[in-house]
């Protein structure tokens, strides 16, 4: 009978340990779900801020291909994001040369290879209608985990013509 009592005692101890482990896992799951919800809320807030900003917000890769355009940029340039994603900015929102004949293709190559040297840049851009506009850009490299440039964040605002008020 003593053997049976010992087995029962061991089973009760194991059951108690298993129950505590289940409670611990449930607590971790609840915490994880709360963190996930906070992350979703944070992402939604970030998206709302970026999409509703009254500035052009664009992300391009190191080849100058468009990776993101906020809603303001889409309205400003007259393109839907789905129509220009993956396309190079030269030929979409940047002409190959500006009205003065400057090589904008080379300028974009310079920005994508060394964004830190072009943290502020003003250049001529083009809308889907063909209208040329001057934009003052700020450019910031987005790095990958190894420290290499992954993308360039570009934030722009139209430079008012002398006859325009800001």
Give every CB contact of residue 157 below 8 A, 6+ residues apart in sequence. 55, 56, 135, 136
- Rounded to whole angstroms, how far apart are CA atoms 85 and 125? 17
Dihedral sign, CA of 156, 130, 59, 102? negative
Asked whether residue 2 carries a pLDDT value surpassing 80, the answer given is no
Work out the pLDDT band at 86, boundaries 50, 70, 90: very high
pLDDT at 166: 47
Q: What is the largest CA-CA distance in the chain?
A: 102
- Any idea where the domains of the chain sit in the sequence? 1-52, 54-158
Mean pLDDT of 136-157: 96
Give pLDDT tens digits for 35-65: 999 888 988 888 888 888 899 999 999 999 9
- Rounded to whole angstroms, how far apart are CA atoms 134 and 5? 87
- Rounded to whole angstroms, how far apart are CA atoms 58 and 111? 14
Mean pLDDT over the full length of the chain: 90
Give every CB contact of residue 67 below 8 A, 6+ residues apart in sequence. 59, 60, 61, 85, 86, 151
For the domain with range 54-158, which CATH number is right: 3.30.450.20, 3.40.50.1110, 3.40.50.300, 3.30.750.24? 3.30.450.20
């Amino acid at each position: 009978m003593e053997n049976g009592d010992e087995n029962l005692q061991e089973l009760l101890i194991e059951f108690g340990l298993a129950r505590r482990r289940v409670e611990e896992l449930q607590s971790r799951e609840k915490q994880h779900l709360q963190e996930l919800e906070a992350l979703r809320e944070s992402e939604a807030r970030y998206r709302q801020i970026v999409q509703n900003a009254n500035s052009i917000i664009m992300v391009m890769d190191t080849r100058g291909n468009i990776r993101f355009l906020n809603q303001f940029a889409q309205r400003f340039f007259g393109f839907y994001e789905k129509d220009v994603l993956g396309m190079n900015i030269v030929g979409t929102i940047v002409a190959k040369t500006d009205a003065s004949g400057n090589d904008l293709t080379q300028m974009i190559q310079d920005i994508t290879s060394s964004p830190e040297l072009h943290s502020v840049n003003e250049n001529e851009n083009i809308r889907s209608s063909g209208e040329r506009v001057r934009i003052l850009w700020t450019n910031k490299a987005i790095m990958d985990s190894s420290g290499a440039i992954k993308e360039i964040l570009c934030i722009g605002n139209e430079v008012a013509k002398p006859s325009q008020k800001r």
